[in-house]
Chains A and B, each alone.
Chain A
Amino acid sequence: MAGTVLRLEEVAGERLLRAVAALLAAKGIASPTEITEQIAMTDNASPAQGARMVARAWVDPPFRALMLSDGTRAAEMLGIPMRGAPPLGVLEDTPGLHHLIVCTLCSCYPRVVLGYPPFWYKSAAYRARAVRDPRGLLAEWGTVLDPGVRIRVVDSTADYRWMVLPLRPAGTAKWNQDRLAALVRETDMIGVTLPRLAGG
């Protein structure tokens, strides 16, 4: 019986989806193509996309320049569908400046290139402490900045979504792009951690 009920609900769900999609098209809100693209965007969204961008930026200076001036276009260049997504901004760490991303008002996050935010990103504790005590927060992550490095906390309060282009770690000079991409974690692109070599 339970199986029958479930099947009926699935059928109803598909009919409802088709009906809503047809209404969205009829009212000119979203075309079937746009809906398909949005589903593809959601399915493909993961930190691996952001890591690909970071690795490419580390080996390809013109791509890096594009990524810093227009993150959306840089993502599109790598085949990441950005239509309908908020504009993407990329902030570059330097030997003297470290970026940390937060959204104090809610949980704005560059989902297209980083996937769903980790649970703690939405917590009141992270949001409050990132802006008030960023050094204490980084210490709890075990992230140690070199002396003299300034922190710039980026509060993602509005229409842009932000990710960090971290510094390429030492000891990776001969690495290819794929190997570099495998090194980059989502936390490195938020700035709570720094990319590091395994065991390093």
Chain B
Amino acid sequence: MSGSPQLAVGSRVRVRDDWPETRGRVHIRTPHYVRGRTGTVVRCLGDFPNPEELAFARPARLLPLYQVLFEQPQIWRQGCAGDQLLVEIYGSWLEPS
């Protein structure tokens, strides 16, 4: 059972601009530099237990895991046009853009 609707390969997605670490103890696998940023789903890697729950030995629901492609210069405001970042992000962090 998957916790979030499936996102199709090629969908434009926005990573939630959320900072749970400001609200208490957490374990997060979504890097800071992609929060609030928009990218493209390039691959669905299957369902995996939510690491944010696993880290605290809580029952972990299965979440779809995606590889999302971002334009590197847009994120850092430096770099070379055409260079990209490919990041694994759980479906719970993604919303259609």
Residues of A whose CB lies within 8 Å of any CB of B are 87, 89, 91, 104-105, 131-135, 150-160
- Say whether B84 faces chain A, with CB atoms less than 8 Å apart: yes
Give the size category of B's interface with A: 20 to 34
A136 CB to closest chain B CB (Å) equals: 9
Q: Which residues of B contact A133 (CB under 8 A)?
A: 76, 78-79
Q: What's the least CB distance linking B42 to chain A, in Å? A: 10
Complex-state Cα separation, A158 to B45, whole angstroms:
10
CB < 8 Å neighbour of A155 from B45, B51, B85, B90: B85
18 contacts between A and B (CB under 8 A): A89-B45, A104-B31, A131-B76, A132-B76, A133-B79, A134-B79, A152-B84, A153-B72, A153-B85, A155-B31, A155-B87, A157-B29, A157-B31, A158-B29, A158-B48, A158-B89, A159-B45, A160-B65
Residues in A whose Cβ lies below 8 Å from that of B33? 104, 131
Task: Give 11 A-B pairs besides A131-B76, A134-B83, A150-B83 with Cβ atoms closer than 8 angstroms.
Answer: A89-B45, A104-B33, A105-B31, A131-B85, A132-B78, A151-B80, A151-B83, A153-B72, A153-B86, A157-B31, A159-B45
Query: Closest Cβ of chain A: how far from B77's Cβ, in Å?
Result: 10
Please count the residue pairs between chain A and chain B whose beta carbons lie under 8 angstroms apart in the complex: 72
Inter-chain CA distance A91–B86, complex, in Å, is 11
Contacts of A91 in B (CB 8 A): 86
B70-97 residues at the A interface, CB under 8 angstroms = 72, 76, 78-80, 82-90
State whether B29 touches A151 (Cβ < 8 A).
no
Bound CA–CA A97/B69 (angstroms): 14
Cβ of A159 and Cβ of B72 under 8 Å apart? no
CB-based contact A160/B80 at 8 Å: no
Bound CA–CA A160/B45 (angstroms): 8
Chain B 7-18 per-residue mask, 1 if CB under 8 angstroms from chain A, else 0:
000000000000
Question: How many angstroms from the CA of A131 to the CA of B74 in the assembled complex?
Answer: 12
Residue of A nearest to B32 (CB): A104
Contact B72 A151, beta carbon cutoff 8 Å = yes
With both chains docked as a complex, state the minimum distance between the C-beta of A119 and any C-beta of chain B, in angstroms.
Answer: 22
Contact A159 B87 (CB under 8 A): no
A135 to B82, CA, bound (A): 12
Instruction: Given A133-B79, A134-B72, decide whether A158 and B51 contact each other with a Cβ distance below 8 A.
Output: yes
Q: A134-B72, A158-B90 are in contact. Are A153 and B31 (CB under 8 A)?
A: no
Instruction: Chain B residues near A87: list those with CB within 8 A.
Output: 45-46
Residues in chain A near residue B29, CB distance under 8 A: 105, 157-158
CA distance A152 to B68 in the complex (A): 12
Contact B48 A159 (CB under 8 A): yes
Contacts of A154 in B (CB 8 A): 86
Q: Is the CB of B84 within 8 A of A151?
A: yes
Q: Which of B38-82 contact A (CB under 8 A)?
A: 45-46, 48, 51, 65, 69, 72, 76, 78-80, 82
